[in-house]
Every structure is written in structure tokens, then in C-alpha cells.
Amino acid sequence: MRFVLGLLKPRLQVLGTDLAGEVVATGSNISSFSVSDRVFGFTDTGLASQAEYVALSPTGNLATIPDNIDYQHAAASLEGAHYAYAFIRRASIKPGQSILINGASGAIGSALLQFARQYGAHITATCSTKNIALIKSLAADKVYDYTRQDFTRHNDCYDFIFDTVGKSSFGKCRPLLKSKGVYTSSELGKFAQNPILAAFTALGKGKKVIFPVPYSIRESLPFIKKHLQEGTFKPVIDREYPLAAIAEAYAYVLTGQKTGNVVVSIQGKHSSDT
């Protein structure tokens, strides 16, 4: 039997299935949440819609929002960080290692950068000109502007290359990896080769491809919440749109040039109105 949490009134949503809002009703068998709780979470079921109210089962994909976090940042802290968590968990970053994050200004990349800096690694990141200051403020040690520089043409050496936007390939990055270096990408690759390369390179002792299959939200959500509480993760928000401007919000995200996250506010204003 699935227990019904009841109605959650989302205040804010990131495009997709991420939610932050207030519990307005609970089923009689629910003890983990109460009316008026501020909660956030997501379902990751491809629910391609937005709504003012939603009924959810409290199956581990919801948590209370830390007191120091507003609804905007709670909504923006979810799915990008969930995928960043998969990168972090599958790599074992050690202090002093060198890592590169390709696409550090995306939702996944900007979360990964903030998580990775906790490990004391030397971080090189890529972004476009407009985001260099932001990426440096998130503690990248070195930045390549991908509109002017191709990081694969420089003689750097990395323990890990995380491509969070799938714009590179193992073939191009291989020469930059140390002898036991690891390449990992958010995408399957042009020929869907990344999972196959992951299987083959796992058998050898040299450079490897790891495919970051996401972990359960039950595992990533407590990790995200802890970093929000401790102030070691602050999700990057680019724009906020009211629900009425949802088509505009999607059009902007589909440009592939958003920075961090785009938030949809159920009753809010367009961020350019303020």
C-alpha cells in the first residue's frame, strides 16, 4: 500500500519535477510530515507538467527545507545537485588531486564544483566569458573560457575529468588524464559509447571511463540538505518566471545557455520585473 502524503502546495518549481512548497493536508497514516511543513523534493518520473497542488507519497523523495533556505533556493537545489552527487559518489577525490569540470556554470556543474571543493582538490573549470567571475567565486582555481579556449589543447594533467554537459569525449580527453585518471560524462556520447567504454576500461588498470548512473533520491537528498544547512552549497539561480510565462521559461532553458537553474514561481513575478 502506498501512503498518501496529501496535498503539497508548491510555491516554486524548477523546470521538470523539482518542487519546494508547503504541506496543506496529510493522510491519517502520515507521521513524517505535518501541515505547514516547508518541504522540497522531486519525483524524477518524467512528470512533464507544472501545477499549483500535487499529491505525493512520502517515499523518501521529500524532506523538510532547512530553516536557513528560502523556497527559491530549495527548489533550485535538487535535480542538478542530485546528478552532481552521482559524479561525486562514483569518484573518490583525494586532497591535492587535479580535476576538471566541463560546463561548470550549468545546474549540474555549479553544484559539482561546490561539492568537489570540499575534498581539497585543485579544480579547473570551463564556462563562457559571462560566467568567469561566478565560477571563480565558487572556488575554481583555474578557468577556461570555452568560447575562446579549448581545454583539450592545453598540456594539463588531471586525475578526473567530469564533463557535466557532454560536450567532450573520452578520446579527446584521454591524453590529459594521468595514468589512472578517470573520465566521466553526463551524456551517453555521440555514439552512445560512454557506458560501453565504462565496461571495457573497468577491466584494465589504466585510464578509465565511469558512467555516473544516478543514485536513489533517498541517498542524494540528505546529502544535499546537509550541504545546504552547512552553507557549503548554494544553488545558482539564473532567472525566475511566473507560471503564466512557462513557455518563455522553457524557451530560455532550451537555448542551452542558462546559468545554473531556472525557477518557476507559482504565484510569483518575472525576475526581470524586480
> By the criterion CB under 6 A, which residues form the site for ligand NAP?
79-80, 83, 102-103, 105-109, 126-128, 131, 146, 164-167, 186-187, 256-259
Q: Which is nearer to ligand NAP, 59 or 257 (CB)?
A: 257
CA-nearest of 82, 6, 14, 74 to 38 is 74
Q: Which residue has the cell 498518501?
A: 4
108 or 217: CB nearest ligand NAP: 108
- DSSP assignment of 196-241 equals HHHHHHTTSSS-EE-------HHHHHHHHHHHHHHTS----EEEEE
Q: Pick the closer one to ligand NAP by CB: 108 or 197.
A: 108
Q: Which residue lies nearer to ligand NAP by CB, 188 or 202?
A: 188
Nearest Cα to Cα of residue 92 among 226, 220, 208: 208
Q: In the complex, which residue's CB is closest to ligand NAP?
A: 106
What lies within 8 Å, CB to CB, of 192 at 6+ separation is: none
Q: Which is nearer to ligand NAP, 24 or 254 (CB)?
A: 254
CA dist 140 → 19, 94, 177, 237, 240 (Å): 29, 16, 19, 18, 26
By beta-carbon proximity to ligand NAP, the closer residue of 17 and 98 is 17
Q: Report how far residue 172's alpha carbon sits from residue 209's, in angstroms, rounded to the nearest whole number.
A: 13
Q: How far is the CB of 138 from ligand NAP (least distance, A)?
A: 12
Contact 103, 111 (CB under 8 A): no
Which residues, 6 or more positions from 260, have their beta carbon under 8 angstroms from its beta carbon? Answer: 76, 80, 105, 106, 107, 110, 235, 236, 237, 238
* CA–CA distance, 273 with 145 (Å, rounded to integer): 30
Nearer of residues 60 and 166 to ligand NAP, judged by Cβ: 166
Q: How far is the CB of 171 from ligand NAP (least distance, A)?
A: 16
Residue 194 CB, nearest distance to ligand NAP (Å)?
Answer: 12
Could you give the CA distance from residue 1 to residue 248 in angstroms, rounded to a whole number? 40
The rounded Cα 164 to chain-centroid distance in angstroms is: 9
| Shortest distance in whole angstroms from residue 95 CB to ligand NAP | 26
Rounded least distance, CB 126 to ligand NAP, Å: 5
In angstroms, what is the minimal distance from the CB of 112 to ligand NAP? Answer: 9
C-alpha cell at 259: 546559468
